[in-house]
Structure 1
Amino acid sequence: MYTHQKDIKTQGKPLAEAKKALILVHGRGATAESILGLAAHLPVQEFSLLAPQATNHSWYPYSFMAPEEQNQPALDSALEQLDELVKSIEAAGIKSENLYFAGFSQGACLTSEYAARHAQKYGGLLVFTGGLIGQRLDESRYKGDFAGTPVLITTGDPDPHVPVSRVEETVAVLEKLGAKVTKKVYPGRPHTILQEELDLAAGILNA
């Protein structure tokens, strides 16, 4: 098991000059640089972009639907890394409503889990093929009020890692916390991000 070393890659405007920030969270086996490549397909020219790098290229060792104790302490360490990053962005003067998150696959799971535990008015959440973490969801840990935060959550049907049933459970939790959720399920789609998903994401980032 491992804890994550702090390693943040950045792109775009410096935090001190930006009015908006986007945190991008990579998937298992990937890199911060690879998820930053998404920025080329999104309207983020005025954003500060920040992508944490997972130690060993994985935020936690097992499936996001494994019993949670199997993914510790890596999972708690990953959530802590995100929390420290969010606090540093807010300390730089960017308000939560100008803070956006995007994650793919394992990174999408981590992103939705972090946001649901710290619900507030964010700019938006882009959950590309992911859902809340745990064998069963423990709703007592999800707190706060998204206050209408727009959320895009997607998956393929079937997806090798993320079942539609968990996406639906995740939508229910996020809506209960006050998020405005757009859910898209793509029949037969491989484990990737489609142009349509990027277009929907652009609508949230442009708002």
Structure 2
Amino acid sequence: MYRHTKQVVSAGIPAEQAKKAIIMLHGRGASASGIISLKDHLDLQDFAIVGPQATEHSWYPYSFMAPVENNQPALDSALEVISDTVDDLKQQGIAQENIYFLGFSQGACLTLEYTTRNAGKYGGIIAFTGGLIGEKLVNENYQGNFDNTPVLITTGDPDPHVPVSRVNESVDVLKILNADVTLKIYKGRPHTITGEELEVANAILKR
């Protein structure tokens, strides 16, 4: 079983010069540079953009709905990489409330899992097709206060990897922690990111 080493691809404004930053997390089989290419469709002109790269192009080996122990140590290691990336941005002078997160699929699940385990005031959280991780959700894992952080969660119905029931469960957990959640469910949409989703994401990035 693998662990991740921190490898981060950067784009946009250098973090030392930026006021805002976004951490972008790629999906299974994809790459940091691939998810960062979404910047051409997003309102990120004044952002530092960072994309951690998963070892073997996968943040954890099995489904996000598998028992958590089956995805270890990769899952904990992935969460550590995100935590280290957040710490780096803070050390470069970016306040937590100006740090944004965006992920697709496996990266969206990881985005939600990290931020909900570390709920606080962030700039915004964008999860394109994802939900909280585990066979069953363990509410004790999730604590803090999002303080009305805007969160966008989107998914297709049905989606081959992410059941709508888990998306709804995840929304409930985030709302209890005071996230300002927008949920968009698209009937019959394939496992992808649509132009409409990017527009809704831009509304959060412009806030």
Q: TM range, normalised to the smaller chain? A: over 0.9
CA distance in 2, matches of 1:20, 1:26: 20
Cα deviation for residue 5 of structure 1 reads 1.1
Deviation (angstroms), 1:140: 0.1
Tell me if 1:97 matches 2:97: yes
Give the drift of 1:91: 1.2
Q: List 4+ stretches of structure 1 deviating above 4 A.
A: none
SS of the residue corresponding to residue 28 of structure 2 reads coil
Structure 1 length as normaliser, TM-score?
0.99
Q: For residue 81 of structure 2, what is the aligned residue in structure 1?
A: 81
Q: Partner amino acid for 1:68?
A: V
Q: Secondary structure at the match of 1:93?
A: coil
1:40 is aligned to 40
> What TM-score results when the alignment is normalised by the length of structure 2?
0.99
Percent identity reads 60
Equivalence for 1:202: 202
- Residue 193 of structure 2 aligns with which residue? 193
Where does residue 167 of structure 2 map in the other structure?
167
- In the alignment, structure 1 segments of 5+ residues that lack a partner are none
Instruction: Give, in angstroms, the shift of residue 92 of structure 1.
Output: 1.0
Q: Paired residue for 2:23?
A: 23
Following superposition of structure 1 onto structure 2, how do residues 101-180 of structure 1 map, counting pairs within 5 Å? 101-180=101-180
SS of 2:34 mapped into structure 1? helix
Q: Which residue of 1 aligns with 2:181?
A: 181
Which residue type is aligned with residue 109 of structure 2?
C
- One-letter amino acid of the counterpart of residue 25, structure 2: V
SS state at 2:127 partner: strand
SS at match of 1:24: strand
The one-letter amino acid paired with 1:86 is V
Which amino acid letter does the alignment assign opposite residue 134 of structure 2? Answer: G
Number of residue equivalences: 207
Could you tell me which runs of 5 or more consecutive residues in structure 2 were left unpaired when the two chains were aligned. none
Which residue of structure 2 lines up, in the alignment, with residue 58 of structure 1? Answer: 58
- What does residue 3 of structure 1 align with? 3
**How far did residue 118 of structure 1 move?**
0.4
Give the corresponding residue for 2:49.
49
CA distance in 2, matches of 1:93, 1:142: 27
1:203 Cα deviation from its structure 2 partner: 0.4
The alignment partner of 1:161 has SS state of coil
CA RMSD of aligned residues (A): 0.4
For 2:32, the aligned partner's letter is: A
Provide the rounded CA distance (Å) in 1 between the counterparts of 2:72 and 2:98.
Answer: 31
Rounded to whole Å, the distance in 2 between the matches of 1:197 and 1:145 is 26
Deviation at 1:6, TM superposition (A): 1.1
Q: Supply the distance in 1 between the matched residues of 2:179 and 2:107 (Cα, whole angstroms).
A: 19
Distance 1:87 1:177 in 2: 22
Mapped partners of 2:16, 2:2: distance in 1: 32
Q: What is the rounded CA distance, in whole Å, between the counterparts of 1:69 and 1:99 in structure 2?
A: 29
